[in-house]
Structure 1
Amino acid sequence: MFIRSERLFLRPGWAEDWEELLALLGDETVVRNLANAPWPYTAEDARSFIAMPQDHLLPRFLITAPGADGARLIGGCGLSLLDGEVNLGYWIEQREWGRGYASEAAGAVLRIAHALGHRRVVASHYIDNAASGRVLEKVGFRRTGRVIERFSKGRGFASPTREYEVRFDSPSDCDDDAMAGLQAA
């Protein structure tokens, strides 16, 4: 599955992406905000992530931004199961923070989740990463009121996370405005 949004192209990871993925996740500032990426992030971690099979109901994407020299990898976004619930996760390389890429990618993947028939999607962020909470709220998530400890492989310990959710009334209620600018293949 591929997604084109206004400024980004989201695609599955390819075997040749491992070195670029390794370079981007070689930044501890990024990895410490993720639950499942270990620190230090190794070549084996990058290769294993790329080799993970895709589930068509829980797609994972690498985020690329087009430029004069072609598209370059800037992050990742996707769906996974977390404690039996569909979970949205994302990350953006540090030098691209503040440009709205996380919101654009998360919104695109959330629309795909809706189109795939998911009725509820959850997400969370570490309390010390307030920018991620703003991303979630911008794309339609609401706070559940729960704060729980979640282990971070990158941090090496559990930290408090704020939980969010978005609910869809029905899989077919996605209006044209919500799907505008989104193309999936």
Structure 2
Amino acid sequence: MFIRTERLFLRPGWPEDLDELLAVLRDDAVLRNLALAPLPGTAEEAREYLARPRHRLLPNFFIYARSFGGPRLVGGIGLGRDGDDVELGYWIVRAHRGKGYAAEAVRAVLAQARMLGHRQIVARHFADNETSARVLESTGFKPTGETRPRFSTGRGGEAPAMLYVAVLSENSARPDGAGTRARRNPGPEQYLKRA
């Protein structure tokens, strides 16, 4: 699965990405804010990460900026499971922050998630990461008001993380392909009641 946007090309990781991925692993600013699926820490783990099969309904992409000098790895984005939720996670290399790449990639993946039949996507950001809050809110996510501790390898422990939700469709085909009318999917208020 590939996605092309105005400035970006999103594609799965390939073994040829090993050197670029290892360079990203040295960026503490990236590692500090990863929680759902931490990046691998060694070359061998990186090879396994790149070779791992992906679930067709939970795509993961490397984000490449298209340029005249050739594509440049600027980050990663994908969907994963967190309990019953489908969660969006992303990271942007420090040198490429502030250019709107995160929001552009998030919008593209949300559109893909809608096409895959997902009705709702959640996202979390650590409370001290205000940039992620702005990205999520600018792409249609709404804060739920729920804050919970979340583990981060890059932080060496737990830190408070804030929950956001994007409702993609209240009635759509089920992601398992059954094609039946979906039940109404609750929005942010569902999480406020659970807190």
Q: 1:84 Cα deviation (Å)?
A: 2.3
Relative to structure 1, the CA distance from residue 6 to residue 74 in structure 2 (aligned partners, 3 Å threshold; closer, same or farther) is: same
| Within-5 A mapping of 1:80-159 | 80-159=80-159
Identity of aligned residues (%): 51
Q: 1:24 Cα deviation (Å)?
A: 1.3
Matched, 1:170 2:171: yes
What residue identity is the alignment partner of 2:171?
S
What residue identity is the alignment partner of 2:62?
L
User: Residue deviations 1:20-42, cap 9 Å, x none?
Assistant: 01101210111100013268x32
**RMSD, matched Cα:** 1.4
CA distance in 2, matches of 1:49, 1:121: 23
Q: Secondary structure at the match of 2:99?
A: coil
| Within-5 A mapping of 1:58-77 | 58-77=58-77
User: What runs of 5+ residues in structure 1 fail to find an aligned partner?
Assistant: 173-185
Contact 2:25 2:39 in 1 (8 A): no
TM-score, normalization by structure 1:
0.88
CA distance in 1, matches of 2:46, 2:72: 16
TM-score, normalization by structure 2:
0.84
User: What runs of 5+ residues in structure 2 fail to find an aligned partner?
Assistant: 174-195
The equivalent residue for 1:12 is: 12
* Higher relative contact order, structure no. (Cα contacts within 8 Å, ≥ 6 residues apart): 1
User: Residue deviations 1:100-148, cap 9 Å, x none?
Assistant: 0000001100111111111111000001111001111111000111000
Matched, 1:37 2:41: no
User: Residue deviations 1:124-183, cap 9 Å, x none?
Assistant: 0001111001111111000111000000111120000000001122337xxxxxxxxxxx
